[in-house]
Amino acid sequence: MINKLQNKGILFLLLIVISNGVFAQIDTVRLNKYYFKKYWTDTKGIVTSPARWQQRDWVKLGIFVTGTASLTLADQSVKDYFQSHRNKTEDYISSNILEHFGAEHSILLISGIFTYGMLANNKRSVSTALLALESFALSGLLVRVPKNLIGRRRPDAWPPSTPSDWDGPFQGTSFPSGHTTASFAVASVIATQYRDIKWIPIAAYSVASLAGISRIYDNKHWLSDVVAGAAVGTLIGNLVSQRTTNSKISFVPYGNRSFQGVKLSYIW
């Protein structure tokens, strides 16, 4: 039963990753007033997006809720497995390396990409770093809402908690995992921007997945917290990558079987 639920969770994450391929590479984002304005417009767009959802979007939400609820049945068993298979080497790697990809290591990675882009005059790298920074910031802000309102207790809480301890607003901060959300928010931007280089999306999502697993290994989150965080982070990263224009007027390549050219795009 647990294996089936874990397989469903993996399939669910795979579908999220596959959905990332619909967005195009962007190399027009710059550190200017439009970039900082984008933080506000993207936040507003993400928060108000349910008002514009179509039927298929609500179906996806239903799949997400059902899948996450199913995974809660495996939470205790997964926790017990990880806590009974710990060793000093893995403890060090998890707590000192992987866990920090949800915080300062992501900032270091973004800074490195931005620095390279500036020195090499590589517009795609500069745009990637700025989009990843925005995605990281927005994910950290937006994930606070469900974490505080849902109020799920962490697995390392005292007195000892169970996966069914959902105590309500401001009574816990376990669901979803903030570190995992941030990791996938950054990874999804990088994977989108460099999807033409096959190993980069694989590496980005692999590191984000390991960062999420580290939260289970360190007994900070339940399995369902991590899966939900991965879904939310990927969604935010995709939306940030999709809403990328830094000026109101732009020219976009366009073509079909009978015509090749550009089209004028106006953003309001």
Bridge partners for 262 per DSSP: 253
In this prediction, residue 265 carries a pLDDT of: 40
pLDDT at 6 over 80: no
What mean pLDDT comes out for the span 167-193?
Answer: 92
The yes-or-no verdict on residue 51 having pLDDT over 80 is yes
> What are 130-144's pLDDT values in tens digits?
999 999 999 999 999
CA 131, 68, 176: angle at the middle one, nearest 5? 50
Q: Structure pTM?
A: 0.81
Q: Beta strand pairing status for 260-266 and 249-255?
A: antiparallel
Are the CB atoms for 148 and 194 separated by under 8 Å? no
Sequence-distant (≥ 6) Cβ neighbours of residue 103 within 8 angstroms:
179, 182
Mean predicted lDDT score pLDDT of the chain: 83
Residue type, 156: D
pLDDT tier at 171, thresholds 50, 70, 90: confident
pLDDT confidence bin for 260, thresholds 50/70/90: very low
For the cut 90, the answer to whether the pLDDT of residue 184 exceeds it is: yes
In sequence order, what E strands does the chain have? 249-255, 260-266
Q: Does the pLDDT of residue 166 top 80, yes or no?
A: yes
Residue-range domain boundaries for the chain = 2-266
Per-residue pLDDT, 23: 54
**So what's the pLDDT on residue 263?**
42
Instruction: Give me the mean pLDDT over the 217-244 stretch.
Output: 91
Kindly tell me if the per-residue pLDDT of 5 is higher than 70.
no
Contact between 186 and 131 under an 8 Å Cβ cutoff? The reply is no
Return the HEC string of 155-172: CCCCCCCCCCCECCCCCC
CATH fold of 2-266 reads: Vanadium-containing Chloroperoxidase; domain 1 (1.20.144)
User: Tokens standing for 59?
Assistant: 């179906």
Segment 57-110, tens digit of pLDDT: 899 889 989 988 899 999 999 999 999 999 999 999 998 888 888 888 899 999
φ, ψ at 252 (rounded to 5°): -120, 130
In this prediction, residue 104 carries a pLDDT of 86
Give the closest residue to 169 by CA, choosing from 150, 146, 144.
Answer: 150
Task: Burial-class residue 124 by CB neighbours within 10 Å (0-12, 13-18, 19+).
Answer: middle
